[in-house]
Every structure is written in C-alpha cells, then in structure tokens.
Amino acid sequence: MKKHYLKLQVIISAFLLLFAAQSCRKESFHEQQNGRMVPVETEAKTGNQYVLFCFMGHDASKCPGCLCIGGVLTHVDCQGAGDACRNSSCVSLTSTGTDLCATTVDTFGFTSLDILNMPSRSFSLETDPGVYSYLNIPAQLVYRDSTTLQFTFTGLSFTNKPLYSNN
C-alpha cells in the first residue's frame, strides 16, 4: 500500500511540476475562463481525488495589498483574483451531509505559504464525452492545517454551468 501511495504521489508531483514550469504562460480564452479538473486514476472503482488547474493572481503594481500579514496589507504573487499565473493542486473531495469540501493532497501545489487567498473559481469536469459538470469554489482565505499541512476549501458545489470565471 505504501508503494502504491508513494507512486501516486510521485506521479502527481511530476504532473504539478510540469504545469508549474508554465505558470505564467497564457492559454486559450476558454481555458482561462474556466479552470479544469482531471480525475486522478486509482485502483479503486470510484475515486475522489482530482487535479485542479486554474489561473489566479494579478500584477503587483496594480495591487495596494490583497492579504493582511502581520497587520500590513501585502501583495502575494499568484494568489487572489486575476489570471496572472497558472496554478494547480491535487485535492480530495469529501462530503458530510450536503456540505462538500476539498482538501489539498499535495502539500505545496497552490503555494508554499501557510495562507492562500483562493479566488472564486469553477472547474470543468467532463463527465461524458462533450458533457461537463462544474465544481465551484467560492472565494475564501484558507490557512494551512498545522498538523497535516493541507488546505481545506469549504462551501463547494457542483452545477451544470460555471458559477465563476478566472477574472
């Protein structure tokens, strides 16, 4: 089991590094408008892990400060509203009743900081050929869990049309 988990982590890390190398490269208008989510294939018949790809962040010269760190408004690259950087992370979806959450699986996918200013984003998932569902994450400021070192996003929903864009 440990070998399988390690192999999965290596594959996910390689996948994320590939996209991190292209973090500021612009893509097509369609890809910028909606993030994408790709299922992580496992041996289980049903999986709950996905790699999320989106653009986020904005130009520091146009930002008076988007995060309050130590009582000071500070700009943090590749976080918050905008489409300046291409970002990705692997998440695990969980639901409790009607509440849907996503917790990062890779520790430093979105950022190496202990805080993430996640903008509102919709991620397309092709459920059947040409048929899409969208995972919607509302804007939220999330803090890294001190024990697991992961981020957890709350208030998620699935819809047949995107609720948010990358702008």
Residue (of 159, 144, 59) closest to 104 by Cα position: 144
Render pLDDT for 128-161 as a digit per residue (tens, 0 to 9).
Answer: 888 899 999 999 999 999 899 999 999 999 999 9
Q: Which of 3, 20, 1 is nearest to 106 (CA)?
A: 20
Whether the CB-CB separation of 109 and 150 falls below 8 Å is answered with: no
pLDDT of residue 135: 93
- At residue 153, the pLDDT reads 94
pTM here is 0.74
Give the pLDDT confidence score for residue 32 in this predicted structure.
45
Region 7-32: what's the mean pLDDT? 44
Helices (H), ranges, the chain: 2-20, 29-33
Beta bridge partners of 54: 87
For the beta carbon of residue 139, count every other beta carbon within 10 angstroms: 13
pLDDT in tens, 83-110: 888 889 999 999 888 899 999 998 778 8
* Nearest alpha carbon to residue 57 among 29, 21, 82: 82
CA-atom Rg of the chain in angstroms = 16
Cα–Cα distance list, 32 to 16, 88, 112, 165 (Å): 18, 13, 23, 8
- Kindly indicate the confidence band of residue 46, based on its pLDDT and cuts at 50, 70 and 90: low
Residue among 66, 79, 87 at smallest CA distance from 119: 79
Determine the 3-state secondary structure of 15 from DSSP: helix
Token readout for 37 is 């989510």
